[in-house]
């Protein structure tokens, strides 16, 4: 049992700290209580646990005001909230995200918004949506892009729709197992 986690240091030249508590007991399983990791102004928070019967109930929040402070190859801000439910063998994951002024490799994305859920059970249902705006690459600009993955393992569909001055894409791929 770690009653109180308190770690301080440096990462990428910025203060790094971890706090919260972690408790593992054969009767209660693993419990995370406000377990946080902070680097510069970027913050990750985990709360919840895994029961002795391997049931998952974990919430997470990532509030990264400046991704480059923690990961120099990235830029912009990212907020991600979600949870992990179900059990260890069949987890269920859901999330919502919002990103602004993202820089990934040489691609700039003015805004990213998304949400989704996926369950790793026999059917494997999935519903993932991502909307991007103001995308600028090395030699191309896209005003908006919408990506959707929906269905389940037996019947699923992936859609991509983009619009821009020089490029428009409307792609739909369906699959069956």
Of 30, 28, 31, 33, nearest in space to 45 by CA: 33
Q: Is the overall model pTM greater than 0.85, yes or no? A: yes
Percent of the chain exceeding pLDDT 90 equals: 77
Distance CA 92, CA 79 (A): 20
Distance CA 43, CA 16 (A): 10
Distance CA 22, CA 31 (A): 6
Structure tokens at 44: 């990750």
pLDDT of residue 27: 81
3-state secondary structure 133-158: EEEECCCCEEEEEEEEEEECCCEEEE
Q: Which whole-number Å values give the CA distances from 127 to 8, 15, 47, 145, 167, in the listed order?
A: 39, 37, 24, 17, 26
**Averaged pLDDT score across all residues of the chain:** 93
Instruction: Provide DSSP, 34-55.
Output: EEEEEETTEEEEEEEEE-TT-B
pLDDT of residue 3: 62
pLDDT tier for residue 24 given thresholds of 50, 70 and 90: confident
pLDDT of residue 17: 92
Instruction: Write out pLDDT tens, residues 104-155.
Output: 989 999 999 999 999 999 999 999 999 999 999 888 889 999 999 999 989 9
Structure tokens at 158: 């992936």
pLDDT average, residue stretch 60-79? 96
pLDDT average, residue stretch 35-39? 94
At which residue do the structure tokens 């408790």 appear? 23
pLDDT tier for residue 7 given thresholds of 50, 70 and 90: confident
pLDDT at 6 over 80: no
Higher-confidence residue of 105 and 159: namely 159
Contacts of 31 (CB under 8 A, 6+ apart): 21, 22, 23, 24, 48, 49
């Amino acid at each position: 049992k770690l009653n109180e986690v308190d770690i301080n240091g440096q990462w990428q030249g910025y203060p790094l700290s971890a706090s919260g508590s972690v408790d593992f007991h054969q009767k209660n399983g693993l419990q995370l209580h406000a377990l946080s990791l902070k680097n510069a102004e970027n913050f990750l928070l985990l709360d919840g646990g895994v029961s002795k019967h391997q049931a998952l109930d974990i919430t997470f929040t990532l509030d990264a005001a400046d991704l480059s402070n923690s990961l120099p190859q990235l830029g912009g801000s990212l907020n991600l909230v979600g949870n992990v439910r179900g059990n260890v063998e069949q987890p269920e994951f859901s999330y919502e995200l919002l990103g602004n002024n993202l820089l990934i490799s040489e691609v700039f994305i003015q805004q990213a918004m998304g949400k989704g859920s996926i369950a790793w059970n026999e059917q494997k249902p999935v519903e993932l949506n991502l909307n991007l705006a103001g995308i600028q690459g090395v030699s191309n600009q896209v005003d908006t892009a919408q990506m959707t993955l929906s269905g389940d393992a037996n019947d699923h569909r992936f859609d991509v729709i983009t619009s821009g001055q020089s490029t428009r894409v409307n792609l739909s791929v369906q699959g069956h197992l």
